[in-house]
Chains A and B, each alone.
Chain A
Amino acid sequence: MDQQTTSHNLIEGCKGPNSFYVKLVSSDGYQYIVKREHALISETIRDMLCERQIAENEINEIRFENISSHILAVVCSYLEYKYRFKGCRLNEVPEFQIPPAIVLGLTLASAFLKC
């Protein structure tokens, strides 16, 4: 599968009220496509998705005017990390590394996203 097809499939996966993916857009316009179940870890995103009434062909997209791309990238990694390890019963959970340079921005984002 080439890159264009993959990208097309991801966008298709963002459509509809029960989409598999959701698109998160940072304040500087970068787009991150994450699995809905990962995104739902954030209480704020969960509330936003629940409140929306979207059509079958509409893309599930959330814009964050106050979160820049380098912060949102780490948030997406955390959402995936949390989803993957939250129910981990058999193995030690690896440490999630926070880049010190962006820790203040990340604190603000995590407080806003409630995650």
Chain B
Amino acid sequence: ETFLRLERSGLKTKQKRRDVIDHLNAIISGCCDGQNLRPEESSRLAVLSAIKYHRDNKSGNSDVCLMGKYHNVLYIGVKVAWDWGVLDSQAVKELLEEIYSCEHTFERIFLGALFGSNAPHFIAGWKSDFKDQDENTRAMVFFLQHASNLALSFPVYLNKFEGTKMIRYGAEPNPNDGGLSPVLALLDKLVESPKRRYLYQLVSCLKILLRAISIIEMPFKPYLFEYRKSMFIEKYEVLFEDALISQEQVFGVVRLKHLCRCTIRDILRKNNQLPKGINSLRLPKTLRKYIDLMDCDK
């Protein structure tokens, strides 16, 4: 009834969505008290209703999404799922699949986590429903965890180095998409830093990325190795000097422990077991943390 009364553009602004979400949250609370339902069950039903509303309208229009409120209702589902911590991965999976079937991206969810809650507005014309970057990041992790529970994967392309935050959750650190590798994109960004004052976020992204890849593959192919090496040193000399990258990981031999970590992560990634599968490995906790990229030990 609430949705029917809404105009087509009724869920376009953040304020209107907030009103609907507040209204829904009140209904969910009421259901919990009145019908003795658990909050996660009531909120799961709300998420499924949003999916059904979208699906019904889409199928009634020859499988073409009507957009406007008919699509944005899914983001009401996203916020409700996050607010109430829906436990049913199947419901969250359906919600994500429904969004992806129309948008082929999740940028409205992850842009705010990567660049701050104002970024979706400037990049995608969409104001984030999450109050700040921190909440958006936690929500992104929430959805990633549900997706990894059911081995859900979508081909989503992010700005090369921004995607490193998702590496723990099985994002491919070296995607074979024919473009510049994420680590080189990140190194290019770092060498641009004025007076070698590097942005903290870029450095931490690099550190995580270097833990997930065995070596930094040098560009400049098909030149001879010696020439490529001298070009690489010339271009990234300051990063070597500032110990942001090591010669070992570019031209030398990395530690056996690191190679093992990369091999284990490759196997787990191929089986959609990152990061959950790490806990079931028969290894001491310190090594499991190391494999989960949480240990700074090289």
Residues of A within 8 A of B (CB): 75, 78, 81-82, 85-93, 95-96, 98, 100, 103-104, 106-108, 110-111, 113, 115
Contacts and interface: CB of A to CB of B under 8 A. Distances in A.
Interface string B236-264: 00000000000010011101110111011
A92 B225 contact: yes
A82 B258 CA distance: 13
A41 to B, nearest CB: 9
B158 interface: no
Interface in B242-298: 248, 251-253, 255-257, 259-261, 263-264, 267, 281-284, 287, 290-291
B226 interface: yes
B225 A75 contact: no
8 contacts: A81-B253, A90-B226, A91-B225, A93-B251, A96-B256, A96-B259, A103-B264, A108-B284
A93 B282 contact: no
A91 B283 CA distance: 36
Q: Interface on chain B toward A: helix, strand, loop, or mixed SS?
A: helix
Nearest to A77: B256
Q: Which 7 A-B pairs have the closest CB atoms?
A: A110-B256, A110-B257, A107-B260, A98-B263, A82-B253, A78-B256, A92-B225
B contact residues, range? 20 to 34
B282 A106 contact: no
Given A107-B260, A110-B256, A88 B282 contact: no
Contacts, number: 64
Contact of B283 (A81, A85, A95, A107): A107
A100 B260 contact: no
B253 A103 contact: no
Given A82-B253, A89-B226, A95-B214, 18 more contacts: A82-B256, A85-B252, A85-B253, A86-B253, A87-B252, A88-B251, A89-B229, A93-B215, A93-B251, A96-B253, A96-B259, A98-B263, A104-B264, A107-B257, A107-B260, A107-B261, A107-B291, A110-B255
Contacts of B215: 93
Contacts of B283: 104, 107-108
A91 B228 CA distance: 11
Nearest to A42: B256
A115 B256 contact: yes
Contacts of B263: 98, 100, 103
A87 B247 CA distance: 10
B70 to A, nearest CB: 48
A104 B282 contact: yes
Contact of B225 (A86, A90, A106, A113): A90
A91 B225 CA distance: 6
A107 B225 contact: no
A106 B252 CA distance: 20
Contacts of A87: 252
A75 B256 contact: yes
